[in-house]
Amino acid sequence: MAVSSDRGMWSGRLGFILATAGSAVGLGNIWGFPIQVGQGGGAAFVLIYLACVFLICVPIQIAEFAIGRRAQRAPVGAFRTISPSTRWWLVGALGTITGVGILSFYVVVAGWTLAYIWFAAAGSVGNSPEAIGGFFKAFAANAPLNVCLTLVTLGMTAAIILGGVRGGIERASRALMPLLFGLLVLLAIRAVTLPGAADGLAYYLRPDFSSIADIRVFNAALGQAFFSLSLGMGTLITYGSYLSKRESIGASALWIAAIDTTIALLAGFVIFPAGFSIAGFDPRTSGPSLIFEVLPRLFATLPGGQLFGAAFFVLLFMAALTSAISLLEVPVAHLIDQHRWSRRKAVLTVTVVTAVLALPSALGNGAVGFFTQLPGLGLDFLTLMATIWNNFSLPIGGFLTAIFVGYVWRVEGALSELLAEHAWFPQPHLWGAIIRYVCPVAIFVIIFFTVRALIG
């Protein structure tokens, strides 16, 4: 099958790096990573996380890029091209479905951040802890508003995707990623000057090595790295398929991982100093409400707090939008590759399907009782979706990808792609050993302990 003219290609390495980094950087970097650090022993968790990123996740990231570039196809077509007459294409199908599943609840949370830009700027969330908490609960239970915000966010994502690879995804990433980084630096500078910031920095940077005796800390670090780098959801295979043979996959992967990790580390310099300026703040017990209930409490006490809060939620929405772009592009690329659809038809179809799938998550925070408290599960629909896709589909997809590259395509086949046109790629045999042995074992451990935790 010939490559569709609607696929497009990156203009060069910079566009590829910024677009893929945009996929990796999301809501999890800005607040999920700091929370994991707080619960996992401060700097001890950071060290484990860094080891997971560069020793386990980057090798899998490289493998997914290599699959995409060799086949010049989205995930399903990529596995079919490399291993025809087998059922390994099902791994690509799993990644594509996973991307749509994640997007269906991701746009809901992204919609919240969009609304809070206005709420923070207008100072409408209140000043007391009770008022701020009550405001968020009332907002989350407002069905028409939540559905509208979800559709607006999804529509913005689709509009960028309609522009194609260079005109849409790459152009948006070139603008958003530097802006996101700059805004985060400004927020970090402001946060470390707050009263109580020294305590927050000490908590963030002082390692508690007693925590490394708990296997759950290692699981949390590896899981955070896995999700943060967009592994197992088809994004990296799709983005790799747009990459020229002239570009070094190894160098690009290291740059992307470095950008993603830097954003996460910077977020810690915002969250911990800012959080510890609030009496009674405990990062070990903070969760999703951290952003929408705790931080507005901080902004209300600051000079220029409305502007500071609005800037923070602009940052969050930008991070969410860049990730949503990558999630939507995977099924769009599949329809273009496998069914010869135009980009416009593919984008509109996937957007409508995702909008329908997103409705239960948008209505599951107090708006509709059934979706707020699922019978027999004690979970809201959004949390259930996050558990299914993040805790199961992503690790399984990554595990199978490592097995495919290590034992089906084989390391030699992957290296022929990675070393194309004498591209820079140090220690190829070490990478081969890691992808064959270390990565499958590490991901299996995540799956095993996730299941064990759920069944008690």
Domain residue limits, the chain: 13-455
Q: What is the pLDDT of residue 456?
A: 63
Q: What is the pLDDT of residue 282?
A: 72
Amino acid at 427: Q
Distance CA 413, CA 418 (A): 9
Q: What is the pLDDT of residue 287?
A: 58
Distance CA 291, CA 113 (A): 9
Distance CA 405, CA 65 (A): 11
Residues 6 or more apart in contact with residue 181 via CB below 8 angstroms: 259, 262, 263, 266
Q: What is the pLDDT of residue 431?
A: 94
Q: Among 330, 290, 450, which residue's Cα sits nearest to residue 386?
A: 450
Q: Running DSSP on this structure, what letter comes out for residue 3? A: P
Distance CA 355, CA 89 (A): 26
Residue 260 CA, chain-centre distance (Å), reads 10
pTM: 0.86
Q: What is the pLDDT of residue 436?
A: 96
In this structure, what token pair is assigned to residue 35?
A: 């929370």
Q: What is the pLDDT of residue 3?
A: 46
Q: Among 11, 335, 323, 325, which residue's Cα sits nearest to residue 167?
A: 11
Q: What is the pLDDT of residue 166?
A: 57
SS3 365: coil
As averages over each run of 10 residues, the pLDDT of the chain (456 residues) reads: 52 71 77 79 87 92 94 92 94 94 93 93 79 85 95 94 65 71 85 86 84 76 84 88 84 89 91 77 66 77 80 84 87 89 94 96 86 82 84 88 96 89 77 95 84 73
Distance CA 181, CA 174 (A): 12
- CB–CB of 134/99 below 8 Å? no
Q: What angle do CA 177, 183, 187 make, to 5 degrees?
A: 145
Q: Running DSSP on this structure, what letter comes out for residue 408? A: I
Classify domain 13-455 at the CATH topology level: Amino acid/polyamine transporter I (1.20.1740)
